[in-house]
Structure 1
Amino acid sequence: MASAAAPYPEGAPCWADVALGDPAAGKRFYGELLGWTFGQPAESYGGYTEAYLDGAKVAALAAKPDGRMPTAWNIYFATPDLGAAAQRVTAAGGQLIAGPARVGGLGRALTAADPGGSVFGVRQPGGSDADAGFERTGEPGSYCWVENHTREPRAVDAFYEAVFGYAPSESPQAPGHRLLSPRGSEPGAHTAVAGREVLGGLFPAEMPPHYLLYFRVFDADETAAVARRLGGRVQLEPREGPYGRWAILTDNQGARFAVLSHPRGVN
């Protein structure tokens, strides 16, 4: 699975943040679980706090302005023109939830829902590569992958093809799992920046459509044990998959995410 370098091509995941009721508790959880340190909260933006791994930006924690908002991880896809992307979202049958709006020195962003109901963000960087988003991906303690879990695969596939020009392909290791590559690239696992999965099987019938973010870790089993100790939960016990050993966890406030380590015996 490819990780894009900044500046990111259109449609590539470029940033992630988590909306929490208690960001201080979130710092304690993710600081120990993933080895993150944290910058100073941006008080003018509700205490938005960037997370770092060895000095490189890897994510952010946001305070929920309204307790009714979901406690959840959010993924943002890159675009060079947020206004044009917003028009494509609505024209293709999506819904704008918030924005487009400027977000401090981080550029402009919007939040939207696709026709299947999965919520995602789109982000146009600020004036320098330093504003483009992730400064490290694919390494232990950082973002490595994202999947859209949906019950409307045909409508969702058509939507993202219209919005981002994704070139789809089927995963040779996971039948039924679709890989999405940026516009103009050769479809396949070596260029894929996201995946699309049909909800079912391992997931309960009442689970809503969503994006599931993965963070790379050294050892999925050990990380799951640490999450439990820190007050989180293990939603899906560690198991072997086509790309390594993985598990689905929730943090100590209920935000859901996955962790992925290399297959056992592979460094």
Structure 2
Amino acid sequence: MAVRPEGAPCWADAMFTDVEGAKRFYGEILGWTFGEASAEYGNYTQAYRDGKAAAAVVPPMPGQEGQEVRPEWCLYLAAEDAAATAERIREHGGEVVMEPMRVADFGTMCLARDPSGVTFGVWQAGTHEGFATEMGEPGGFCWAEVFTREPDRSDTFFPAVFGYRAQQMQDDSMDFRVYTLGERPALGRMTMNEDFPPEVGPYINVYFGVADCDEAVSKATKLGATLQFGPMDTPYGRFAALTDPQGANFSVIDTTRTEGETPQMTDVS
């Protein structure tokens, strides 16, 4: 697998109070199977699609049992040197929530927040290089977007830390920006408007590929998920936004079903 450039999405995991429930849900929706829980690493459990690493689920850390844990998918961005990235995060107004920590020979991780409160991870790969699924294939990571109420702070922070350039979508109905690495889109940024309830904090929305968006939504809602938006056809695929039964937000997308013209984008940096 080619080494991912600095700032490229490379892995995703989520903490669930009911890990077995999460495994049943995502196994049904995304076709995931799961490896053995690793007691040495907090019962971290890797998910696979067709034998390829897709994501992971984990129970609350020791000391968090009994506390209210808000499930949330965490996206990890690639780093050549996690410690150096952590320093840049601080320099540009972010917060390092978990200092860089080596995880055996798998790699080095840290957790951080941007100045608007968006939580994300940093991963310096060792033997674990991240997603083994192809982008957009059923069950695999496809895309992710920063949802923030303070877009100016995110737009200053992420390019400064990861070297992104930025393009603004020309659409009066929404404030949407794409962070790019060279010519390749890396991450979206969406401004949260009044449609988002005030109790919903900033987060990164992760998209997973599915073979049929409508079928995935039907399965998800029958299993207790809440449909937030869609299904909707776009130039990038048919997608829907969901909240799983434990409260974690995510989206599903069928990239083979596209409709409409690609929106015009303007360079802003």
- 1:99 CA displacement: 2.0
Alignment partner, residue 192 of structure 2: 199
Identity of aligned residues (%): 43
Alignment partner, residue 104 of structure 1: 104
* Maintained 8 Å contact 2:236/2:258: no
Which residue type is aligned with residue 243 of structure 1?
Answer: Y
d(CA) in 2 for partners of 1:256, 1:176 = 20
Change (3 A) 1:166 1:207: same
Which residue type is aligned with residue 109 of structure 2?
Answer: A
Change (3 A) 1:207 1:252: closer
Asked if residue 159 in structure 1 is aligned to residue 152 in structure 2, the reply is no
* Maintained 8 Å contact 2:233/2:258: no
- 1:265 CA displacement: 7.2
3-state DSSP of counterpart to 1:193: strand
Change (3 A) 1:253 1:60: same
Cα deviation, 1:169-222, whole Å, max 9, x if unaligned, reads 12368963211112xx13xxxx10110111115423432111100111122211
Which sits farther off after the overlay, 246-255 or 207-216?
246-255
TM, length-normalised to structure 2: 0.88
How big is the alpha-carbon RMSD for the aligned residues of Structure 1 and Structure 2? 1.9
Which sits farther off after the overlay, 22-31 or 11-20?
22-31
Alignment partner, residue 44 of structure 2: 48
d(CA) in 2 for partners of 1:210, 1:164 = 18
Asked if residue 120 in structure 1 is aligned to residue 120 in structure 2, the reply is yes
Alignment partner, residue 85 of structure 2: 85
Alignment partner, residue 76 of structure 1: 76
d(CA) in 2 for partners of 1:6, 1:57 = 15
3-state DSSP of counterpart to 1:88: helix
Instruction: Give the number of aligned pairs.
Output: 253
3-state DSSP of counterpart to 2:48: strand
* Maintained 8 Å contact 1:14/1:77: yes
Q: Which runs of 5+ in 2 are unaligned?
A: 260-269
Which residue type is aligned with residue 153 of structure 2?
Answer: A
Change (3 A) 1:29 1:81: same
Change (3 A) 1:234 1:206: same
Q: Which runs of 5+ in 1 are unaligned?
A: none
- 1:237 CA displacement: 3.5
TM, length-normalised to structure 1: 0.89
* Maintained 8 Å contact 2:144/2:188: yes
